[in-house]
């Protein structure tokens, strides 16, 4: 397998990340935040500049963006809530939200325990994700926030990819590379 890489820069941090073939002839740089403290901290610092001061809670989801939300929380003092991608045995009366994923053609489900959802009622929430691609996931996350009674005041992503026109604040564009 070829291990071509592509440079991705956030602030002063550059990573030469592997290119993976997602479809025949289509390759995308694969970025992993988990395990990379330096990259996460750079992204957290940069995203916090766009965090509306009226934000009460950060809202993120499993798995990779958790460390980003934790770092932003640690730096800003704002608490965060994690929406799960699987039902946990202890959940009571959870909010269950389907993800519409046109590109992958698979359905996914988000879960938020009612005890977590209660914290968001009447609060200003900023969504935090690692990458916005088709937008299906962050739109589902927004629906969870609204169903919990929160007001979404910002949509923050470390990376953006593709042609979607969603109103998202992001740090770096990830290209979709077509091989001849």
Partner 1 sequence: MKTYPVNIAGVKRELPVVQVGPGVAVALLNLLGDTELVEAAAQALAEKLPAEVETLITPEVKAVPLAHALSRLTGKPYVVARKTEKPYMINPVTRTVISITTGKPQLLVLDGTDVPLVRGKKVAIVDDVVSTGSTLKGLRELIEDVGGQMSAVLAVFTEGTPRDDVVALGHLPLFEPER
Applying CB under 8 A, which residues contact partner 1?
1, 18, 20, 30, 34-35, 37, 40-41, 62-63, 66-67, 70-71, 73-74, 79-82, 88-90, 115-116
Nearer to partner 1, 115 or 151 (CB): 115
Phi first, then psi, for residue 75 (nearest 5°) are: -75, -35
Cα(140)–Cα(84) distance, integer angstroms: 12
CB nearer to partner 1: give 84 or 143. 84
Q: How far is the CB of 9 from partner 1 (least distance, A)?
A: 20
State the nearest-atom distance from the C-beta of 165 to partner 1, in Å: 27
Euclidean distance between CA atoms 115 and 163, whole angstroms: 37
Of the candidates 52, 33, 63, 58, which has an alpha carbon nearest to the alpha carbon of residue 159? Answer: 33
Give whichever of 20 and 26 is closer to partner 1, judged by the CB atom.
Answer: 20
Nearer to partner 1, 67 or 154 (CB): 67
Closer CB to partner 1, 57 or 170, in the complex: 57
Residue 16 Cβ, how far from partner 1 at the closest point, in Å? 12
Dihedral angle at the C-alpha atoms of 3, 163, 63, 49, nearest 10 degrees? 110
User: CA-CA distances (angstroms) from residue 61 to 4, 14, 42, 58, 142?
Assistant: 30, 25, 20, 10, 11
The rounded distance, in Å, linking the Cα atoms of 113 and 17 is 35
User: Considering the complex, what minimum distance in angstroms separates the CB of residue 125 from partner 1?
Assistant: 13
Distances (CA, A) of 16 to 8, 9, 109, 166, 176: 6, 9, 32, 27, 16
Minimal distance, residue 71 CB to partner 1, in Å: 7
């Amino acid at each position: 397998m070829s291990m071509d890489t592509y440079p991705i820069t956030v602030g002063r941090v550059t990573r030469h990340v592997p290119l993976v073939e997602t479809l025949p002839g289509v390759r995308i740089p694969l970025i992993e935040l988990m395990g990379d403290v330096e990259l996460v901290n750079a992204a957290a610092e940069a995203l916090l500049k766009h965090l509306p001061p009226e934000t009460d809670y950060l809202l993120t989801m499993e798995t990779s963006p958790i460390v980003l939300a934790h770092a932003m929380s640690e730096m800003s003092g704002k608490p965060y809530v994690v929406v799960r991608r699987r039902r946990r045995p202890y959940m009571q009366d959870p909010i269950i939200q389907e993800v519409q994923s046109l590109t992958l053609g698979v359905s996914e489900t988000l879960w938020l325990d009612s005890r977590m959802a209660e914290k968001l009622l009447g609060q200003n929430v900023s969504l935090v994700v690692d990458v916005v691609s088709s937008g299906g996931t962050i739109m589902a996350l927004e629906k969870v926030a609204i169903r919990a009674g929160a007001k979404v005041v910002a949509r923050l992503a470390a990376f953006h990819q593709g042609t979607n026109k969603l109103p998202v604040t992001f740090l770096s564009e990830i290209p979709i590379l077509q091989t001849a």
